[in-house]
Amino acid sequence: MDGSTDKQRLQLILIKPTHYDDDGYPITWLRSHIPSNTLAALYGLGDDCRRRQVLGPGVEIVIRPFDETNTRVRPDVIVRDLGRGGDRALVCLVGVQSNQFPRAVDLARQFIKAGLPVAMGGFHAAGCLSMLPVVPPEIQQAMDMGVSIFAGEAEEGRLDVVLQDAWNGRLKPLYNYMEDLPGIEGAPTPSLPPSALARNEGRKSSFDLGRGCPFQCSFCTIINVQGRKSRFRNADDLEAIIRENYRQGITSFFITDDNMARNRHWEEFFDRLIELKENEGIQASLIIQVDTQCHRIPNFIAKAQWAGVYRVFIGLENINPDNLLAAKKRQNKITEYRRMLQAWHTAGVSTWAGYILGFPGDTRESVLRDMEIIKKELPLDILELFILTPLPGSEDHQTLWKQGVWMDADLNKYDLHHRVVHHPRMSDEEFDRTYRDAWKAYYTPAHIETVARRHGAIAGRNPAEPAQFMTMFKIMFEAEGVHPLEGGIVRMKYRRDRRYGMKIEPWGLFHLRLAAETWRKLKIYGRLAWQGWRIGQKVKHDPRRLEYSDLALEPVAEEELDKLALFAETAGGEAAVVKKRGEDLARARAAVAHNQRLAAAE
């Protein structure tokens, strides 16, 4: 008998869960915008386990990845398929963030009921176990249900251990690796099969080149989950990732490093990408994340552009220095914002910035004032508004937990799009209204045209592109009621997938409501898409578009900085200018003294 027919099989089911909308239905799209890096990393690690035969030569590992943002996950169908083939399985719920935890548990409940072993990892479990002195009740309840919790990262053979334990029927309740974060240089290549990548809008993939962050932002979970000591891949790792995806026709990537500018190998990475482009015609299109000081690094922006970066995410966070200090975001200097954004704009790279509302010093008036300052004085394209949220795993959450301050018990709301605490200066209703109005204030037709004109003033740029993206953000917020970063193409909603404990609606009522909801959305889609298209075409075909300029694009002399509202009207803005002038004077004096010492030595 042929030995291959005697092989046993373990199906490794990798599921990146989504989370529920306000009505309790999973947020799933026909095509999703942002690919899952965790899913790609775990698939690569699983494939490495398969090649190394970690379960022995008589056991074949088959990996099945599911990204629930673009794929309906049917536990009943998965279980039925397993029964037909007689395979054993391990279900891994991967990359589970706090807002995805309820959905992950609901999926786990169904698999466990069918007798399958389930493991769960991600930022929620890792963050809670790293920052709290006790196991939170929702994690304990999941373990009591039979879910094995994995806290930490799965490189350096840790996935091997989980697979072997699952195969031998001795899966542990908890795998806690938070005190021993692995190196990632030379680690297996993150990848996904073509069938999974095809469900990402634009056929994008993602990977990381570094983990960890040296900063101390109190609202951040990364420093407590991935550590404050940075770990890196190398240029050979990058080339392997690019080539592996290139063979599948994937050339567009989201590099998920929290701050590419602080990756000490950034220049080696960009140089390798440039070499691949010039020598072999392998050209990658990249989205990266950077900090607000990246423009001060010599050649960083120029090389990023040449390496294929076309979009950057920037943690702007706020334009009020007092708010930044309160969150320990000391590395952000509002005196550098304009210069940094102007440098990216001149390079023709689209800028997308995260901006947080809900700091203790915020008021409705200050928030709406700041929206107008940003629109007028910063050459920024997409502004991503978030609510300041005490995410489990952050210092903010730890502090409020210790103080016994009320935080919403529904983890599904911890998506940075729902308020989960009370604001000290605004009522709940006023804060919620301010958050909605801030979105509306930034994404007006007039400002969409302004951003389009700023890009239209650059030769070779298509001003219809930023108009399209800004319109898409506006549509997601107004029509779909989700944060635009959770958006996608064509929302999919299934009656029986509703959140555990919520009533399953009758067939007729569900579809009647769905039809009415779809008709309402289509009207919004049509109106806003037509509006955005007209703005883009208007600017694109303006014969004088290259002559356009405005305050955000113009350089401002150092001695005139305090004339800008960015510094004159924000909380702490004037002090920031004074501090910068003092620092500049100190540097100038130091340079003069250095030159004098050199002259004396000669």
- Residue 418 carries which side chain, given as an amino acid letter? H
* pLDDT tens digits, one per residue of 270-310: 999 999 999 999 999 999 999 999 999 999 999 999 999 99
Find the Cα–Cα–Cα–Cα dihedral 154, 149, 23, 507, rounded to 10°: 100
Q: Which residues contact 23 (CB under 8 A, 6 or more apart)?
A: 498
- Residue 392 carries which side chain, given as an amino acid letter? P
pLDDT score for 86 = 83
Q: How confident is the model at residue 587 (pLDDT cuts 50, 70, 90)?
A: low
Task: Read off the DSSP letter of residue 420.
Answer: -
Question: Is-contact 289 319, C-beta < 8 A?
Answer: no
Task: Provide long-range contacts, Cβ within 8 A and 24+ apart, for 105-109.
Answer: 105/138, 105/141, 105/142, 105/145, 105/147, 105/500, 106/499, 106/500, 107/15, 107/17, 107/73, 107/75, 108/142, 108/145, 108/146, 108/147, 109/145, 109/500
pLDDT exceeds 80 at position 597: no
- The fold for domain 3-176 equals Rossmann fold (3.40.50)
pLDDT score for 437 = 98
CA 315, CA 318: separation in Å to the nearest integer? 9
Two structure tokens written together for 113: 């009921």
pLDDT exceeds 70 at position 65: yes
147-151 vs 118-121, strand pairing mode: parallel
| Sign, CA torsion 360/476/250/460 | negative
Of all residues in the chain, what percent carry a pLDDT higher than 70?
A: 96
Q: Count of CB atoms within 10 A of residue 215's CB? A: 18
Least confident of 63-67, 210-214, 279-283: 210-214
Alpha-helical (H) ranges within 86-191 are 101-113, 123-131, 137-145, 158-167
| CA neighbours closer than 13 Å in the CB half-sphere of residue 582 | 6
Q: How confident is the model at residue 479 (pLDDT cuts 50, 70, 90)?
A: very high
Q: Which residues contact 287 (CB under 8 A, 6 or more apart)?
A: 253, 254, 255, 309, 310, 311, 312, 313
Q: Count of CB atoms within 10 A of residue 252's CB? A: 18
Closest by Cα among 474, 483, 449, 488 to 525: 474
CA 443, CA 447: separation in Å to the nearest integer? 6
**Domain definitions of the chain by residue range:** 3-176, 572-601
pLDDT score for 580 = 66
| CA neighbours closer than 13 Å in the CB half-sphere of residue 536 | 18
Quick one: average pLDDT of 556-563? 78
CA 263, CA 265: separation in Å to the nearest integer? 5
User: Which residue bears the tokens 């883009």?
Assistant: 536
Least confident of 84-98, 160-174, 494-508, 587-601: 587-601
Least confident of 3-7, 100-104, 316-320: 3-7
- Residue 497 carries which side chain, given as an amino acid letter? D
pLDDT score for 328 = 84
Could you tell me the maximum CA-CA distance found in the chain, to the nearest angstrom? 91
Q: How confident is the model at residue 3 (pLDDT cuts 50, 70, 90)?
A: very low
Model pTM score: 0.93
- Residue 250 carries which side chain, given as an amino acid letter? I
Beta bridge partner(s), residue 290: 314
| Degrees to nearest 5, angle at CA 215 with 214 and 217 | 145
CA 87, CA 8: separation in Å to the nearest integer? 7
Two structure tokens written together for 509: 């009522």
Beta bridge partner(s), residue 287: 254, 311
Question: With helix as H, strand as E and coil as C, how does 44-70 read?
Answer: HHHHHHHHHCCCCCCEEEEEEEEECCC
pLDDT score for 577 = 72
Rounded to 5 degrees, φ, ψ at 29 are -125, 160
pLDDT exceeds 50 at position 4: no
Question: Is-contact 345 553, C-beta < 8 A?
Answer: yes
pLDDT exceeds 70 at position 584: no
Alpha-helical (H) ranges within 57-136 are 75-85, 101-113, 123-131
pLDDT score for 367 = 97
Is residue 2 classed as helix, strand or coil in its secondary structure?
coil
Closest by Cα among 262, 328, 318 to 291: 262
Question: Is-contact 213 222, C-beta < 8 A?
Answer: yes
CA 87, CA 263: separation in Å to the nearest integer? 43
Q: Which phi-psi region, left, alpha or beta, contains residue 591 (left: φ > 0; alpha: ψ -120 to 50)?
A: alpha
Quick one: average pLDDT of 369-393? 97
Is residue 397 classed as helix, strand or coil in its secondary structure?
helix
Residue 508, exposed/middle/buried by CB under 10 A (0-12, 13-18, 19+)?
A: exposed
Q: Count of CB atoms within 10 A of residue 306's CB? A: 16
Q: How confident is the model at residue 504 (pLDDT cuts 50, 70, 90)?
A: very high
Question: Is-contact 31 489, C-beta < 8 A?
Answer: yes
Quick one: average pLDDT of 222-231? 90
Q: Which residues contact 166 (CB under 8 A, 6 or more apart)?
A: 10, 90, 117, 119
Of all residues in the chain, what percent carry a pLDDT higher than 90?
A: 82
| CA neighbours closer than 13 Å in the CB half-sphere of residue 183 | 5
* pLDDT tens digits, one per residue of 482-500: 999 999 999 999 999 999 9
Residue 431, exposed/middle/buried by CB under 10 A (0-12, 13-18, 19+)?
A: buried
pLDDT score for 588 = 63
pLDDT score for 152 = 95
CA 404, CA 401: separation in Å to the nearest integer? 5
Closest by Cα among 10, 75, 66, 72 to 38: 66
pLDDT score for 105 = 98
Closest by Cα among 91, 572, 554, 561 to 342: 554
pLDDT score for 178 = 94
Question: Is-contact 472 487, C-beta < 8 A?
Answer: yes
Closest by Cα among 277, 287, 293, 332 to 311: 287
pLDDT score for 202 = 78
Length of the chain, in residues: 602
Closest by Cα among 398, 417, 396, 421 to 409: 421
**Whole-number average pLDDT of the chain:** 93
